[in-house]
Amino acid sequence: MLSTGLIFSIFIELVGFVCWIKFARDNQTKYKDLTSALMFVIALVILYQVFKLNLDFGLILASATLFSAFAWLLGKIINLHELQKESKSYFFILLVITCIRSFAYEPYQIPSRSMVPGLQVGDFVLVNKHAYGLKFPGTNYLVSGLKYPQRNDVAVFIPPHTLCHTTATEARPDLSRLSIAESQLFLKKFSSLQESRCTPGGIKFVKRVMGIPGDKVEIKGYQIWINGEQIDQKLLSSNQDENLLEETLDKQIHVVRTLGLSEYAQHSWVVPDGHYLAIGDNRDNSLDSRAWGYFSEEYLIGRADYIWMHWASFSSFPTLDRNKKIR
């Protein structure tokens, strides 16, 4: 769903493109250069609105690539060499960026503390876009076969409460199995979250996959059982501010953080087909499956594989001291 402002901006950009062609053909250099400058400003406005609406940037890149190809072809048809030259250079640059971002790796900035201590706010990670199968840019249509996430994967996905069209029963297909009190509590919480956070395209989250289809997952305090087997946890450090635990899941080790706020919390799930249970490593400061249910395989983005840069804020300089493989 596009806003009226975005549609209007795109329309003005197209009008500017037509005017630019006319001025170029009439050799009106002054007006052509002025139109180019205005089109650049409008393009920035469009980008701002795209990010504000949280629309898929991959789809914007793919659209821009196709438009530059159209402009290149149009330049050949009307024999406008300047249009051919400009659009050809843009086309190849955009094509390379689109292919890398859509089919290889996508950059993603960690926005919250939900995956502390492994991932910090300001970490820039590389998201492996082919880890779970390739999708056509900006869509959920698979180009290759679906590859299924595994337990312990640090996955990037769109959770159900950030999508305005998702219902509570889609977020928790097993809602009918819950008690009346539990189902009413979930419905109330999900409705509140969706009302405050949903956008047309959803919001990308990064969490650890703790349950795959068919798994029975139970949480009592900070202890976790998967299919009846308790996950091994080892205390690394403890102080008045936090506890750090080494957790072993499917023979892979990661570190989680607790604050002692959920010692008596209890949760139980049987993960349905096509869905996954995701929980943040910062167990007392993470909005995850405990609140909004499961995420669907349809909304998988990729797997976070590597931290390539850390940039805490615009007032500081980017650093490479946190470069490491994510585990």
Find where tokens 């167990």 sit: 283
Residues 190-214 have a mean pLDDT of 93
Six-digit token string for 208: 């650890």
Residue 40 has phi, psi (to 5 degrees) of -65, -45
Beta carbons of 17 and 39 less than 8 angstroms apart: yes
What is the pLDDT confidence band of residue 78, given thresholds at 50, 70 and 90?
Answer: very high
Note the pLDDT of residue 122.
93
pLDDT of 199 above 60? yes
Give start-end residues of each CATH 2.10.109.10 domain in the chain. Answer: 105-325
What is the pLDDT confidence band of residue 208, given thresholds at 50, 70 and 90?
Answer: very high
| Each residue's pLDDT tens digit, 140-184 | 788 777 889 999 999 999 999 999 999 999 999 999 888 899 999
| Each residue's pLDDT tens digit, 87-145 | 999 999 999 999 999 889 999 999 999 999 999 999 999 999 999 998 887 777 887 77
Fold of 105-325: Umud Fragment, subunit A (2.10.109)
pLDDT of 25 above 60? yes
What is the pLDDT confidence band of residue 313, given thresholds at 50, 70 and 90?
Answer: confident
| Each residue's pLDDT tens digit, 218-267 | 999 999 999 999 999 999 999 988 999 999 999 999 999 999 887 778 88
The rounded mean pLDDT for the chain is: 92
Residues 35-60 have a mean pLDDT of 86
Q: What percent of the chain clears pLDDT 90, i.e. is strictly above it? A: 76
What is the pLDDT confidence band of residue 1, given thresholds at 50, 70 and 90?
Answer: low
pLDDT of 81 above 60? yes
pTM of the model: 0.85
pLDDT of 2 above 70? no
Residues 6+ apart with CB under 8 A from 239: none
CA–CA distances in Å: residue 144 to residues 76, 129, 132, 167, 279: 34, 12, 9, 28, 28
What is the pLDDT confidence band of residue 285, given thresholds at 50, 70 and 90?
Answer: very high
What is the pLDDT confidence band of residue 270, given thresholds at 50, 70 and 90?
Answer: very high
Query: From CA 43, how far away is CA 52, in angstroms rounded?
Result: 14
Residue 234 has phi, psi (to 5 degrees) of -130, 125
Note the pLDDT of residue 5.
87
Listing from the earlier edge strand, what are the strands of the sheet with 243-249? 232-238, 243-249, 252-258
Query: Helices in the chain by DSSP H: which ranges?
Result: 4-25, 29-52, 57-77, 81-103, 168-171, 180-197, 289-292
Beta carbons of 190 and 167 less than 8 angstroms apart: no
